[in-house]
Amino acid sequence: KKIPSTNIQKNVDAGDDYCSKGHACHTNATCLNLNTKYTCTCRPGFQGDGFHCEDIDECTQQGGLTGNHCHLNTRCVNTSGSYVCECLPGYRRLDKFNCVEIDECATGQHACHTNAECINTQGSYHCRCRSGYTGNGYECKPVCNQTCLNGGQCVAPGVCSCRVGFVGASCEQDLDECTTGMHGCRETSVCVNMPGWYYCKCKPGFRTRDTDCMDIDECRHGTHSCHPSARCVNTEGHFECHCPPAEEDPNCRLSCMFEDNEIPDGAKVSPQNQPCKVCTCERGVISCTDKPCNCSAWRGGVGRDLCCPQCDPKESCQHQELKHVVFQSGEQWIYQCQTCECLYGEFDCWKLECPPLTCSNPLPLQPGDCCPRCEDDPCNFFSNQTSGSTSTGKPCSYQGHAIASGQTFNDPSSQCTTCACKDGRLCCSFGSSCADTGVHYGPTITETSHGHLSQETTSTETSTATPIAPLLRPTGRPFLTTRMPGV
């Protein structure tokens, strides 16, 4: 019920300030002094007789003195004594009564995924995944038709982002830090490559103590090969056999004691059950190496030299999953935590040998890992920020240049390979922005004459594999065998 807006006047004594002395006007009314009286008038936005005023709901009426003047794309909201024009969702304020549309796509005020396109609509927008991706537009995942191995993640159609230590279009290839010189092993140890990492194995004559290699006193432990008539003298990582002058001890000999036999000084012998090794006695010290292979002298002759399988390049093996990857005879690779070797078109796999741990709490295994490892690997713990890991800021050296710790760069000869210096060590991985569409046969990472890393391939054509009947190990388990005809 509307209250009439008639002004109410009260008769009072002439000449007084009636409004300041006290009046009966409503809170939402104004008091006006007259000559002998005062009057009460409701404020704008209210209606009544001045002694009682009620709010006018302007939103119930469009236009006029008591209605609202909100335009399109707005919503009228009544307030005490007035009203406001709120913008509808998807619109922004132009003035007190008008709102214009917001282009969320143009202004970047949208929640579409990186791999989605934003489509503007009237007062809103919607997201649509780009070609090669699937999802609702707010979350888009790549449609991957390839396998990313060793913990790699598919980040785009045909593109894998590899973990540190792996490279290749499918992260199928381990980055061999040992052959590329990207390791921090000391002179007392040798680098042993592992899937995604490496470790330093103490050289013969040294033993592991914590993370260091300590000299073994072969003379004191009786593990030398000196003849009993000679005197053993320990050296750093080795030993020597000494004889006094012949006139003092004519019976002293510098022959070697090896496998319970005496080997004359300068003689060569093959150790038992190791036909591909040759051992040489030099002044009482026995040393064993692999038999040398002269592939140029073989020239495809009849018969096979079991110690030199690499001399027959025609007998190749195909990778178990990646059919475009082919290994030459004599090459080894790691697959599902097994070491596999190709021998004349047939391959055998055996359990990968893990290094001894130098800590009591190794890091949790990640996808692609085969062996536990400790926190002394800067490529691992500086990325995970594990407790107790501290950086010394040691720089790296690469191709004659000093690289500050923490600096990241692309290998000049392989732009898909990204390397970072972490506490004196180079940590490299295959970049997610690269897609390799080539065919890889016999992949290897080698260091060129300029010190660059390069990926070698031995063929650019595809080939089909023909499975052959499985062979049996002495244990009765079959060999995993694939033959590549004519490769």
Lowest-confidence region among 33-47, 48-62, 451-465: 451-465
173-174 and 277-282 beta bridge pairing: unpaired
On average, the pLDDT of the chain sits at 77
pLDDT of residue 41: 94
- Residue 296 — pLDDT band, cuts 50, 70, 90? confident
Please check the confidence at residue 342 and state whether its pLDDT lies above 60. yes
Please check the confidence at residue 484 and state whether its pLDDT lies above 50. no
What 15-20 contacts at long range (C-beta under 8 Å, 24+ apart), as own/partner pairs, is none
Extents of the domains making up the chain: 8-55, 59-101, 105-142, 153-201+358-456, 212-290
Lowest-confidence region among 15-29, 107-121, 144-158, 384-398: 384-398
Mean pLDDT score, 267-284: 92
Question: Could you say which DSSP state residue 378 is in?
Answer: H
What does 101-153 look like in DSSP terms, one character per residue?
A: E--HHHHT-----TTEEEEEETTEEEEEEPTTEEESSSSEEE---S---TT-E
Distances (CA, A) of 372 to 174, 176, 199, 211, 337: 17, 18, 11, 15, 12
- DSSP reduced 3-state for 186: coil
pLDDT of residue 10: 53
Please check the confidence at residue 445 and state whether its pLDDT lies above 70. no
> Which CATH topology does 105-142 take?
Laminin (2.10.25)
Please check the confidence at residue 387 and state whether its pLDDT lies above 70. no
Mean pLDDT score, 354-369: 80
pLDDT of residue 121: 86
pLDDT of residue 70: 93
pLDDT of residue 442: 30
- DSSP reduced 3-state for 182: coil
Question: Is the pLDDT higher at 143 or at 413?
Answer: 143
pLDDT digits (tens, 9 = 90+) for 471-482: 222 323 333 333
What does 453-482 look like in DSSP terms, one character per residue?
A: EEEE-S--S----B--PPPB-TTSPBP---
Question: Is the pLDDT higher at 135 or at 468?
Answer: 135
pLDDT digits (tens, 9 = 90+) for 158-179: 888 888 888 888 887 878 888 8
Percent of the chain exceeding pLDDT 70 equals 76
Give me 137's structure tokens. Answer: 């537009």
pLDDT of residue 221: 92
pLDDT of residue 173: 80
| CB hemisphere CA count around 153 (13 angstroms) | 7
pLDDT of residue 23: 87
Asked whether this chain's domains 59-101 and 105-142 adopt the same fold, the reply is yes
Lowest-confidence region among 13-17, 24-28, 245-249, 370-374: 13-17
Mean pLDDT score, 155-159: 81
pLDDT of residue 315: 75
Give me 467's structure tokens. Answer: 């499975």
Residue type at 313 in one-letter notation: P
pLDDT of residue 277: 92
pLDDT of residue 13: 55
Q: Into which CATH architecture does domain 8-55 fall?
A: Ribbon (2.10)
Q: Which CATH number does 59-101 carry?
A: 2.10.25
pLDDT of residue 375: 66
pLDDT digits (tens, 9 = 90+) for 298-308: 655 555 677 88
Contact 2, 47 (CB under 8 A): yes
- What is this structure's pTM? 0.48
Mean pLDDT score, 132-140: 91
- Residue 117 — pLDDT band, cuts 50, 70, 90? very high
pLDDT digits (tens, 9 = 90+) for 47-77: 999 999 999 999 998 888 888 999 888 999 9
Mean pLDDT score, 320-348: 85
- Residue 433 — pLDDT band, cuts 50, 70, 90? very low
| Burial letters 34-61, b for 16+ CB under 10 A, else e | eeebbbbbbeebbbbbbebbebbebbee
Please check the confidence at residue 390 and state whether its pLDDT lies above 50. no
- The vertex-144 CA angle with 487 and 166, nearest 5°, equals 60
> What span, in angstroms and rounded, lies between the C-alpha atoms of 160 and 385?
24
3-state SS string over 213-281? Answer: EEECCHHHHCCCCECCCCEEEEECCEEEEECCCCCCCCCCCCCEEECCEEECCCCEECCCCCCCEEEEE
Give me 99's structure tokens. Answer: 């709102």
Query: Residue 14: CB partners within 8 Å, gap ≥ 6?
Result: 35, 36
pLDDT digits (tens, 9 = 90+) for 190-249: 998 888 888 888 998 999 887 789 999 999 999 999 999 999 999 999 999 999 998 888
